[in-house]
Structure 1
Amino acid sequence: MRRSIIGPIAAIAAAGLVLAGCSSDGDDEPADDVTTSATGGSDDGGGGDVAAGCEDYADYGTHEGAAVELYGTISGVEADQLAESIVPFEDCTGIDVTYNGSDEFETEINIRVEGGNAPDLAIVPQPGLLQRVVGTGAVVAAPEAVAANVDEFWSEDWKNYGTVGTTFYAAPLMASVKGWVWYSPSEFEEKGYEVPTTWDEMMSLTETMAETGGEGANYKPWCIGFESGTATGWPGTDWIEDLVLRQHGPEAYDAWVAGDLEFTSDEIRQSFESFGEIALDSDYVNGGLGDSGSIVDTAFQEAGLEILNDSCSLHHQASFYEAQWPEGTNVAEDGDIWAFLTPNINADDPAAVTGGGEFVAAFNEEEPTQALQAFLSSDTWANERVSIGGVISANNGLDPANASSPIGQESIQILQGEDTIFRFDASDLMPAQVGSSAFWTSINDYVSGTPLDTVLSDIDNAWP
C-alpha cells in the first residue's frame, strides 16, 4: 500500500495553480476534499499548426473550453505537484483539468458512481479496489492510445494489474519500491558494520548491534512503527510480503495472493516466524520507543527518526519514507541517512522487490477524458512529474536521472531492471476482507503477543 506522508517537504509553487476549498460540482463531494485546479489555454485557437513548445502534445488534439475532473487520494504537496505536471498539457490542449483529492476516496467513489456523479478519471490506489470499482459497471475500457502506451512503456505485470478479467481498464501511474532498510552511514563506518547481502547476514548484524551497538540504555537495533490511523498494521504486512517473495519465490507469492496458499501453510508461517525473530525479540526492538508492544502504537512516520537520535540503527520502510526525514537531512550513501534493500535469502538470488502504485480509470469515453488518460500513461508525463520531485514511476520511458534523489534514481533503476522480480503489494491485491482488514489487524495482534497459530487462522478465516 502506498500512503501519503505529511513530511517536511517544501511545496513547489506552480504558475497557474489555484487552490479552492470546494469541489467543482455535485453535492456528493466530501466537504473536506482538497481541490487543486491548474488551468491553461491553447495559443492556436484549436486546430491548425502546433504551437511552439507543444510538439509533444500534438497527438492529444485541441479541445478549447473542455473540462476534465481527475479524482484520487493524493493530497497536500503531492497534489500541488500533480497539478503542476499537467499544466503543459492544459496549455497545449485547451483542456481545463481539475484535481479533487479525498482521504475518503474508497467510500466516496462508490457514492459518486451510484449517484450518477462519477468523475471523468479516477486515480485508484490499489488493484483490488480497481476491481471493485470496475464491478460497478461504470468504468470504461482503456482506449487504444492508452493500451499502446502501456504496451510500450510498462511491463506485462503492470498491465495485468490494470486488467480485470480480460479487459484492460487502467494504466499505471506512480509507483513505490518497498523493503528499503534505512540506516546511518556514519554509524556503520564508525562501528565497522557492513551492509548485509543476505538475510542471515542482516540477522548477524542485528545480533552484533544488540551486543555492541548504541550507548543509550534505550538503544535497540531496530525501530518499527505500525500506527497509521484506520490502516494501522500495513507496515507489518510489508515485512511479510518481502519475506514471502524472497524465501519462497514469485510462484508461491502469486498463489498466496490468490488464496491458493493459505496463511497457515508452512511457507507463510516461516515468513511470519522470520519477522518475529526481529519484532518479538526484546533485545532487538523497539529502539527509543519501548518493547514489541510499542510497535502498534508508534506512528510509521516517526519510528525511523529514532535513527537520528541514536536510539536505533535500522528501519524497514518504502522508498517514499525519504520524504519523512527532517529538512536538512542529507540522504546519500555518504550522508546522514541511506538505505539498502531487504536482502535476498542467497546473495546470488535475482533481485526481488515488492512495491505499490496507482492506476488511472475512466468513467466516460469523451475525447478530452481519453486525451488526459493517454497523457498520464505516457513517458512525457512520467518525466515531467518525476522531474518536479517526490515520486517515482515504473514507466520504462522515464529517465532515472530525473528523480529528485539518489534513492529515487536507484528505485527507478530497480523497477526498470530486466531481471528484477517485481510483485505488487499483496495486501492490496487480496480481497478487502483479508488484505486491508484481517491481515492488518492480525499482524498487530502478532507483535502484541497473540500466538501465531491464532493469528494465521484468523486471517484464513476472513477469506470470502
Structure 2
Amino acid sequence: MRVTRCKRVIIPLAGAAAVALALTGCTGDAPASSGGTAAAGCDDYSSYGTFTGSPTVNIYGTIVDVEADQLNQSWTDFEKCTGITIKYEGSQEFETQINVRAQGGNPPDLAIFPQPGLLASMVGGGYIKAPAKSVEDNVDKNWSADWKKYGTVDGTFYAAPLMASVKGYIWYSPTYFSDNGYTVPTTLDELTTLTAKIAADGKVKPWCAGFASGEASGWPGTDWIEDTVLRQAGPDAYDKWVSNDIKFTDPQITKAFDYVGNILKNPAYVNAGFGDVTSINSTTFQDAGLPILQDQCAMMHQASFYEAQWPEGTKVAPDGDVYGFLMPPAKAGDPQAVTGGGEMVGAFKTSDEITAVQTYLSSALWANNRVSIGGVISANKGLDPANAKSPLAVDSIKILQDPNTTFRFDASDLMPAAVGSNSFWKGIVNWINGDDTQTVTTFIQSTWPQ
C-alpha cells in the first residue's frame, strides 16, 4: 500500500511549549497552558493544560448521527478539565465540502479524514499543518508504523490515526440461522451456496444492502469489491491495484466485480425490505441492516462500526439478536485477510488549544474513553480490549492486534481522491443502476490522475 504522493509542504507549528506528558497512554509535548485552574478530578487531563476564556476548537468530519453523539461524549471530561470547548460538525458531504472550505479560506481547525488519499491531497495543496511533537510522540508510542504511514506524506508526518474498523463483516441473526439449519460459511464458494439456498427456501431474501450516503453514496459497494479482491487475488495484487500497477480493468479486479455482482445485481437475492436491485442506491447504509431484526433478510455486509447503528437494546452476540462473521477466504485454509478503515486527524490551523485537542485525540486515554462508550474500536496499542462493549468489538480488536492477520487499509481510501472518493463511488452507483462491469471499470480507470 502507499499514500498518494503529493508535493511536500512543511509548515512549522507555533505556540506549543515542550512539556513532558506523564499521562498513561499520552506521551510527548503538552501544549502551553493559558493559566487557568484545573477542576477537581482532572488528574488524567492535567498535562494538557488549563485554558481561560473558553477557547473553541472546531472539528469537521464525516461522523454523523449516533456516532457523532458518542464522539462528543468522548471529550466531555477533556473539555471540563482543560476549559477548551470542542465544536464538532459532521457532514455526509465532507469529501466535497472540505475542499470548498479549504480553497475558500474557511477551513475548520481540525478535520477527521476517512481517506489518506484525501488527506494527502490537502497536504499537497498546502492546507495541512505539521502537528506538534506531542502528537507524533503519541503515534510513535501507541500505533504501528503502518498506521503512522497513513498520516505521512512524502516522509513528513501530518495526521494521527483516530478510530479504526474491521471491514468485511457479514451481519446476520444467529437465531434465524439456527432455526433454519444455516451455518456460517468458511469459503467464498460456501457463501455463494448459502445465498442460493436461502433464496431457494423462499422465506426471506438472502441479502439487504444500502449504498446511499449523501455525496459519498457508493462507498459501501467499494468495500464489497475491496474485500473480494483481497481474498481472491491476494495482498500483493491488492497493493498493486492501490498503486495503479494493476488497473481496474485487469481480470483480477473484474473477477471481484463479477463475484459481487452475482449477489447484489440478482433480484432473487436482494433487496429485502426495500425494493428491487436499484433500491440499494436509495437505501442508506445506516438503514440497510435493520430488516435482519424483522427476519426480512438473512445477511448484510458492513464494517464493525455498524454496531452503533443497531437500535438501543439490540443484543450483539453469538447468541444475540444479531452478530457478524467475517467474509470468508477464497479457499479453505487461507490465512485470515481483512480490510479495514480508520480516520486521520489533520490540522488546518495552529494554536495551543488545537495542539491540546490533537494530542488528546492521539492518546490511549482518548481511545479507551471512546471505545468504552461503545460502537467503535481502535488500533491504538494502549487500548484495553476489555473496554469494548460487545463480543464483536473485542474480536475486532484482537483481529487488529493479531500479527498473523493479513490486514490492508481500505483501497479506495488510499487511492487518489479523484478515484477513491469520486469515480469509484460513482461507478458503483452506476453499476447497481445497470451498467456492466466493463463499462464501470473502464470509466473508473479513465479518471486515474496521469
User: Per the shorter chain, which TM-score range?
Assistant: 0.7 to 0.9
CA, structure 1 residues 70+421, in 2 after alignment: closer, same or farther (shift >3 Å)? farther
Q: Which amino acid aligns with 2:279?
A: S
- Does the 8 Å contact 1:227/1:295 carry over to 2? yes
- Does the 8 Å contact 1:213/1:221 carry over to 2? no
What's 1:425 paired with? 410
Of 153, 167, 180, which aligns to 2:142? 153
CA distance in 2, matches of 1:96, 1:450: 48
What's 1:70 paired with? 58
Superposition pairs of residues 118-157 of structure 1, within 5 angstroms: 118-157=107-146
CA distance in 1, matches of 2:328, 2:287: 24
What's 1:16 paired with? none
CA, structure 1 residues 376+191, in 2 after alignment: closer, same or farther (shift >3 Å)? same
Superposition deviation, residue 78 in structure 1: 3.2
CA distance in 1, matches of 2:108, 2:282: 36
> What do residues 408-459 of structure 1 show as CA deviations (whole Å, max 9, x unaligned)?
2222222222222222222222223322232222223333332322222111
**The residue matched to 1:328 in structure 2 has which SS?**
coil
Of 49, 56, 62, which aligns to 1:61? 49
**The residue matched to 1:361 in structure 2 has which SS?**
strand
What's 2:328 paired with? 343
Considering Cα pairs closer than 8 Å and 6+ residues apart, tell me whether 1 or 2 has the greater RCO: 2
Of 210, 213, 216, which aligns to 1:231? 216
* In the alignment, structure 1 residue 434 sits paired with structure 2 residue 419: yes
In the superposition, the TM-score normalised over structure 2's length comes to: 0.84
Of 158, 165, 179, which aligns to 2:168? 179
What's 2:364 paired with? 379
* In the alignment, structure 1 residue 395 sits paired with structure 2 residue 389: no
CA, structure 1 residues 369+228, in 2 after alignment: closer, same or farther (shift >3 Å)? closer
CA distance in 2, matches of 1:118, 1:288: 40
Of 352, 360, 370, which aligns to 2:337? 352
**The residue matched to 2:86 in structure 1 has which SS?**
strand
CA, structure 1 residues 254+185, in 2 after alignment: closer, same or farther (shift >3 Å)? same
**The residue matched to 2:207 in structure 1 has which SS?**
coil
RMSD: 2.5
CA distance in 1, matches of 2:146, 2:78: 28
* In the alignment, structure 1 residue 316 sits paired with structure 2 residue 301: yes
- Report which stretch shifted further, 161-170 or 94-103: 94-103
Superposition pairs of residues 201-280 of structure 1, within 5 angstroms: 201-214=190-203, 219-280=204-265
- Report which stretch shifted further, 448-457 or 54-63: 54-63
CA distance in 2, matches of 1:247, 1:328: 37
CA, structure 1 residues 213+409, in 2 after alignment: closer, same or farther (shift >3 Å)? farther
CA distance in 2, matches of 1:118, 1:276: 39
CA distance in 2, matches of 1:287, 1:123: 33
In the superposition, the TM-score normalised over structure 1's length comes to: 0.82
Q: Which amino acid aligns with 1:72?
A: Y
CA, structure 1 residues 344+376, in 2 after alignment: closer, same or farther (shift >3 Å)? same
CA distance in 2, matches of 1:326, 1:254: 37
- Report which stretch shifted further, 224-233 or 252-261: 224-233
CA distance in 1, matches of 2:275, 2:80: 54
Of 434, 439, 442, which aligns to 1:449? 434
Superposition deviation, residue 240 in structure 1: 0.2
**The residue matched to 2:230 in structure 1 has which SS?**
helix
CA distance in 2, matches of 1:121, 1:303: 31
CA, structure 1 residues 372+184, in 2 after alignment: closer, same or farther (shift >3 Å)? same
Q: Which amino acid aligns with 2:198?
A: M
* In the alignment, structure 1 residue 188 sits paired with structure 2 residue 184: no
Superposition deviation, residue 68 in structure 1: 4.1
Q: Which amino acid aligns with 2:389?
A: S
CA, structure 1 residues 183+77, in 2 after alignment: closer, same or farther (shift >3 Å)? closer
CA, structure 1 residues 91+446, in 2 after alignment: closer, same or farther (shift >3 Å)? closer
% same residue: 59
Q: How many residues of Structure 1 are paired with residues of Structure 2 in the alignment?
A: 416
CA, structure 1 residues 112+346, in 2 after alignment: closer, same or farther (shift >3 Å)? same
CA, structure 1 residues 154+203, in 2 after alignment: closer, same or farther (shift >3 Å)? same
Q: Which amino acid aligns with 1:315?
A: M
CA distance in 2, matches of 1:55, 1:137: 37
- Does the 8 Å contact 1:68/1:120 carry over to 2? no
Superposition deviation, residue 241 in structure 1: 0.4
Superposition deviation, residue 116 in structure 1: 4.5
Superposition deviation, residue 177 in structure 1: 1.8
**The residue matched to 2:313 in structure 1 has which SS?**
coil
Q: What residue ranges of structure 2 are gaps of 5+ in the alignment?
A: 1-32
CA, structure 1 residues 279+111, in 2 after alignment: closer, same or farther (shift >3 Å)? closer
Superposition deviation, residue 171 in structure 1: 0.3
CA, structure 1 residues 288+410, in 2 after alignment: closer, same or farther (shift >3 Å)? same
Superposition deviation, residue 195 in structure 1: 1.0
**The residue matched to 1:229 in structure 2 has which SS?**
coil
Q: Which amino acid aligns with 1:311?
A: Q
Q: What residue ranges of structure 1 are gaps of 5+ in the alignment?
A: 1-43
